[in-house]
Amino acid sequence: MSTRDVDRIELLQGTLDLLILRTLLLGPLHGHAIAKSIERNSEDVLAVEQGSLYPALHRLLKRGWISSEEGTSENNRRAKFYRLTAKGRRQLRAESAKWERLARAIGRILRPAGEEGRL
Amino acid sequence: MSTRDVDRIELLQGTLDLLILRTLLLGPLHGHAIAKSIERNSEDVLAVEQGSLYPALHRLLKRGWISSEEGTSENNRRAKFYRLTAKGRRQLRAESAKWERLARAIGRILRPAGEEGRL
DNA sequence: ATACTTTACCTAGAATGTCTACTCGAGATG
DNA sequence: CATCTCGAGTAGACATTCTAGGTAAAGTAT
Q: Chain A contacts of B107, Cβ < 8 Å?
A: 103
Cβ–Cβ below 8 Å for B45 and A119: no
Mean pLDDT lowest among A104-118, B17-31, B39-53, B78-92: A104-118
Q: Is the minimum distance from the CB of B30 to strand D below 7 Å? A: yes
Q: Assess if residue B116 is contained within a domain.
A: no
pLDDT digit string (tens) for chain A, length 119 residues: 333 445 788 899 999 999 999 999 999 999 999 999 999 999 999 999 999 999 999 999 999 999 999 999 999 999 999 999 999 999 999 999 999 999 999 999 999 887 665 55
The number of folded domains in chain A is 1
- The model's pTM is 0.90
Share the mean pLDDT of chain B.
Answer: 91
Q: Assess if residue A26 is contained within a domain.
A: yes
Q: Assess if residue A119 is contained within a domain.
A: no
B42/C4 CA-to-C1' distance in Å: 55
A75/D29 CA-to-C1' distance in Å: 19
Q: Assess if residue A72 is contained within a domain.
A: yes
pLDDT at residue number B113: 82
Mean pLDDT lowest among A34-48, B37-51, B103-117: B103-117
Q: Does residue A80 belong to the interface with chain B, where contact is any CB pair within 8 Å? A: no
Backbone phi, psi, residue A24, to 5°: -75, -10
Q: Determine the residue of chain B that is closest to A98 in CA distance.
A: B9
Q: Determine the residue of chain B that is closest to A101 in CA distance.
A: B45
B77/D2 CA-to-C1' distance in Å: 20
Angle at B23 between CA B19 and CA B28, to 5 degrees: 140
DSSP strand pairing (B66-72 vs B78-84): antiparallel
Q: Which domain holds residue A44?
A: 3-110
pLDDT at residue number B115: 64
Q: Which residue has the higher pLDDT, B80 or A3?
A: B80
For residue B6, is pLDDT > 70? no
pLDDT at residue number B112: 85
Note the Cα A119 to chain centre separation in Å.
32
Q: Does residue A27 belong to the interface with chain B, where contact is any CB pair within 8 Å? A: no
Q: Does residue B102 belong to the interface with chain A, where contact is any CB pair within 8 Å? A: yes
pLDDT at residue number B74: 95
Q: Which of A4, A8, A12 to mutate to test the interface with B (most CBs of B within 10 A)?
A: A12
Q: Assess if residue B119 is contained within a domain.
A: no
For residue B78, is pLDDT > 90? yes
Q: Is the minimum distance from the CB of A15 to strand D below 7 Å? A: yes
Report the C-alpha gap between A70 and A87 in whole angstroms.
21
Q: Assess if residue B45 is contained within a domain.
A: yes
| Of residues B22, B23, B45, nearest to A105 (C-beta) | B45
- CATH number where B95 lies: 1.10.10.10
Burial of A61 (0-12, 13-18, 19+ CB in 10 A): middle
Q: Is the minimum distance from the CB of A51 to strand C below 7 Å? A: yes
Q: Assess if residue A118 is contained within a domain.
A: no
Q: Helix, strand, coil shares of chain B as percentages rounded to 5?
A: 50, 15, 35
For residue B1, is pLDDT > 60? no
pLDDT at residue number A5: 47
pLDDT in tens, B63-72: 999 999 999 9
Q: Assess if residue B115 is contained within a domain.
A: no
Q: Does residue A45 belong to the interface with chain B, where contact is any CB pair within 8 Å? A: yes
